[in-house]
């Protein structure tokens, strides 16, 4: 297949751009002297993850047990499940571990730690548990200096559970758009996570791994002393949110939505396309950033951005593209014309599709399945 022959809407991966993004991150991690553990929640796609591993990634991060199961079945056994464990999910996690998966789980509270200890006694087996650290106040985790950190480490250790590491995610980096501020947040993320590890070690709790990361902080960090590994997800495709953050250019964005023109409202300067929110996702992540792209930025079929041509509205299967030419609108954007739209948020857009279409340098495309659900 090729872009002209594909049915629309379709999620297109530009393989050359993806490979460039992978190489950029891996080169950086190698230079910083840390392991890199990509977050596969962005793509849930074996074709992409194989390229990340081939470039030097060591292990993966997942956001669901379904991801862990699917990628273990695909041959990856070093997996961090980076969402605080629900006790009811422990049997499913243990079943995966007992098949040979080196699955790490995380906790940030005493109740979860106690539930893990109780379950492991019952199951007569153990998990490696990492403690989640909050270094920027945006979501989950224990503050690096919280007394509870040591208490929870002890609950686990005394229960026979290995505290394998600490991990943090400075997700508030998505709200920044300045290199200096990003570098400062990266340092805050590093220092907080290292501090938590040092406190645990001082209390006699082994804590081999210090894991940090988000795409913006990974790309902004000046050094990573004390850190053993970095995690990042969206860097593999990038998107308009990341372009606004300032860590990529629109020309780095490897994911786009292929769409066809289905109508016009010339008086309004609208081109109607068959990429609505089902094709783009409902993500409006650029709405509070420097440049609000609506639901996406349109490009010609060859990927060249059409400046000022944005998807200003989206119903389920209709997108409204606002363009500047009103007089020539039906000539410049004829019925059936194909365009590509860069997404606000690659993780959310990808999730709308059962498969990506991977576009090679010779213009050919091949379907790369992805999965959804839990």
Please give the residues from 165 up to 194 whose contact with its own copies meets the rule CB under 8 A: 171
How far apart are alpha carbons 141 and 156 in whole angstroms? 16
Least distance from its own copies to the Cβ atom of residue 164, Å? 19
262 binds its own copies (CB under 8 A): yes
Q: Locate tokens 């080196």: which residue? A: 102
Stretch that binds its own copies, among 69-77, 108-116, 121-129, 194-202 (CB under 8 A): 108-116
Q: Which of 203, 224, 84, 188 is nearest to 149 (CA)?
A: 203
Least distance from its own copies to the Cβ atom of residue 169, Å? 9
Q: How much is the CA Rg of the chain, to the nearest whole Å?
A: 22
Least distance from its own copies to the Cβ atom of residue 355, Å? 8
366 binds its own copies (CB under 8 A): no
373 binds its own copies (CB under 8 A): yes
Sort strands 60-62 and 102-107 into parallel, antiparallel or unpaired: unpaired
How far apart are alpha carbons 293 and 312 in whole angstroms? 8
272 binds its own copies (CB under 8 A): yes
How far apart are alpha carbons 358 and 350 in whole angstroms? 12
Nearer to its own copies, 16 or 86 (CB): 86
How far apart are alpha carbons 360 and 365 in whole angstroms? 6
Nearer to its own copies, 1 or 32 (CB): 1
Least distance from its own copies to the Cβ atom of residue 283, Å? 4
Nearer to its own copies, 252 or 274 (CB): 274
Per-residue tokens: 74: 């695909």
Give the residue, chosen from 36, 127, 237, 277, that forms a contact with its own copies under the rule CB under 8 A: 277
* Virtual torsion, Cα 223, 227, 228, 229, nearest 10 deg: -80
Burial 284-294 (b: 16+ CB within 10 A, else e): bbbeebeeebb
Give the residue, chosen from 109, 177, 188, 251, that forms a contact with its own copies under the rule CB under 8 A: 109
283 binds its own copies (CB under 8 A): yes
Least distance from its own copies to the Cβ atom of residue 31, Å? 28
DSSP characters over 232-269: -SGGGT--HHHHHHTSS-GGG--EEEEEEEEEEEGGGT
Burial 44-73 (b: 16+ CB within 10 A, else e): bbbbbbebbbebebebbbbbbbebbbbbbe
369 binds its own copies (CB under 8 A): no
Stretch that binds its own copies, among 2-10, 12-20, 122-130, 194-202 (CB under 8 A): 2-10
151 binds its own copies (CB under 8 A): no
Least distance from its own copies to the Cβ atom of residue 292, Å? 14
What distance lies between CA 294 and its chain's CA centroid? 21
284 binds its own copies (CB under 8 A): yes
Give the residue, chosen from 99, 222, 223, 282, that forms a contact with its own copies under the rule CB under 8 A: 282
Give the residue, chosen from 57, 61, 103, 108, that forms a contact with its own copies under the rule CB under 8 A: 108
Nearer to its own copies, 100 or 373 (CB): 373
325 binds its own copies (CB under 8 A): no
Give the residue, chosen from 181, 191, 203, 278, that forms a contact with its own copies under the rule CB under 8 A: 278
Stretch that binds its own copies, among 154-162, 237-245, 334-342, 359-367 (CB under 8 A): 334-342
Site size with its own copies, rule: CB under 8 A: 58
What percentage of the chain's residues is helix, strand, coil (to nearest 5)?
35, 25, 40
Least distance from its own copies to the Cβ atom of residue 332, Å? 13
How far apart are alpha carbons 37 and 211 in whole angstroms? 9
Per-residue tokens: 333: 């954007």
Q: Give 78: exposed, middle or buried? Use CB within 10 Å, 0-12, 13-18, 19+.
A: middle
How far apart are alpha carbons 175 and 285 in whole angstroms? 10
Residues making contact with its own copies (CB under 8 A): 7-10, 41, 63-64, 83-89, 92, 108-109, 111-112, 115, 134, 139-140, 171, 260, 262-265, 272, 274, 277-278, 281-284, 313, 315-318, 320, 330, 334-336, 345, 347-348, 351-355, 372-374
């Amino acid at each position: 297949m090729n872009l002209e022959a594909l049915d629309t809407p379709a999620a297109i991966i530009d393989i050359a751009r993806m490979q460039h993004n992978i190489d950029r991150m891996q080169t950086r991690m190698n230079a910083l002297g840390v392991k890199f553990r990509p977050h596969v929640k962005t793509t849930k796609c074996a074709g992409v993850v194989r390229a990340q591993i081939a470039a030097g990634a060591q292990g993966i991060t997942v956001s669901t047990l379904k991801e862990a199961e699917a990628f273990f079945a695909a041959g990856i056994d070093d997996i961090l499940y980076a969402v605080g464990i629900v006790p009811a999910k422990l049997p499913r996690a243990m079943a995966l571990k007992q098949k040979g998966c080196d699955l790490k789980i995380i906790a940030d509270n005493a109740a979860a730690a106690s539930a893990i200890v109780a379950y492991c006694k019952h199951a007569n087996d153990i998990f490696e548990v990492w403690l989640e650290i909050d270094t920027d106040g945006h979501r989950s985790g224990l503050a690096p200096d919280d007394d509870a950190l040591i208490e929870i480490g002890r609950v686990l250790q005394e229960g026979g559970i290995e505290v394998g590491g600490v991990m943090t995610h400075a997700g508030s980096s998505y709200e920044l758009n300045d290199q200096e501020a990003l570098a400062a947040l990266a340092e805050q993320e590093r220092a907080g996570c290292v501090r938590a590890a040092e406190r645990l070690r001082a209390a006699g709790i082994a804590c081999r791994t210090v894991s940090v990361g988000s795409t913006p902080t990974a790309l902004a960090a000046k050094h990573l002393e004390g850190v053993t590994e970095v995690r990042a997800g969206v860097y593999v495709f990038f998107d308009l949110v990341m372009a606004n953050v300032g860590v990529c250019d629109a020309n780095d964005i490897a994911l786009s939505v292929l769409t066809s023109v289905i109508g016009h409202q010339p008086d309004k300067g609208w081109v109607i396309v068959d990429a609505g929110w089902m094709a783009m996702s409902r993500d409006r992540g650029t709405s509070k950033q420097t440049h609000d792209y609506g639901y996406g930025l349109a490009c010609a079929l060859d990927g060249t951005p059409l400046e000022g041509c944005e998807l200003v509205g989206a119903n389920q299967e209709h997108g409204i593209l606002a363009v500047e030419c009103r007089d020539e609108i039906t000539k410049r954007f004829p019925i059936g014309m194909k365009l590509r739209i860069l997404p606000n948020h690659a993780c959310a857009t990808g999730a709308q599709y059962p498969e990506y279409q991977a576009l090679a340098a010779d213009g050919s495309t091949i379907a790369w399945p992805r999965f959804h659900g839990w």
